[in-house]
Structure formats: structure tokens, C-alpha cells
Amino acid sequence: MDCLGCRIANGTEPDVKVVYENEHVTCVLDIAPFNEGHTLILPKKHVVDVEEMDMVTAHCIMETSMKLSSLLKQVFHPDGISVCQNGGVFNDLTHYHMHLIPRYKEDGFSWSEPLFSHGEDKRLEETRDKLIEALSTQNSLCRNDANKGY
């Protein structure tokens, strides 16, 4: 396999610290953890970005994130958990992976301020309208959300 994420998820990459695994996902400790317990959830099927994923895998990743978040809270007693995923050029594995990061007050990790401001906060209504328009040309995101306008 050429993909590092596939090798990690399918158990062929050496020295990986597996925390949990089932038929759809493998969960491993991040090799450069932000905090102790920083875990990655990787699908066993090769997927780069979230929109490429089948619903069974997506559901399994979300369910696993819930279970492991609870486990991380039990073991490490963080003040919270950050759940994130980087897509496109920001996906350093070029294989979908979700981060579960135990967080503590004053740990230095912050999303509270935008890195750059290009006036996005002044165009919230315009941005919403663009997204609703684009969404109206696609199929419903979820089975029961048609015409909710968000």
C-alpha cells in the first residue's frame, strides 16, 4: 500500500499504538500528540476527504469518536475534548483521519481568534444565502433535514 493512512489503519505500519479497532476503523495514538491521549480515528477503506466517505464508515467514525471521547475523559480528566479533521491540502496523511484531543485550560491550543480577517464577520447573511442556495441544488444532507434552511 502506498498510502501511510491505509497502512496504519490496516495494521501494516510498524510501531503504531492501536487503542481500538473494529471492521471499519482503527484508532491510534498520534505520534506527535498535542496532549496525552491525542487519538486518531482512521477508516480502513481509503478515503481522503469526508465527502467521499460511505455512510456506514461515517457513522462508525462518529460512534467511535463518542466512545473514545468518553474514554479519554474517564482516563485523563481533561477540561474538554477537541474533535477535528483536516481536509484537502491540510490532510497530512492524504487519508481521512479524525483527531480526538484531550484539552485543558491554558494548554495553549486556541481557535478563539481568526488567523486572518477578511471581513467574513460582516458578510454572515450573504454567506448564509450562498450556502442555502448551493444546498438547494443538492440532495438533502441527512434524511430528515430537507428545507430546514441551515
Q: Which of 11-15, 29-33, 60-64, 125-129 has the lowest mean pLDDT?
A: 125-129
Q: Mapping DSSP to helix (H, G, I), strand (E, B) and coil, where does residue 103 land?
A: strand
In the predicted model, what is the mean pLDDT of residues 10-20? 94
Domain ranges of the chain: 4-113
pLDDT tens per residue, range 87-116: 999 999 999 999 999 999 989 877 666 666
Distances from the Cα of 65 to the Cα of 38, 71, 103, 145, angstroms: 12, 10, 15, 23
Is pLDDT of 135 > 70?
yes
Q: Does the domain formed by 4-113 have CATH 3.30.428.10?
A: yes
Local confidence band at 133 (pLDDT 50, 70, 90 cut-offs): confident
| pTM, to two decimals | 0.82
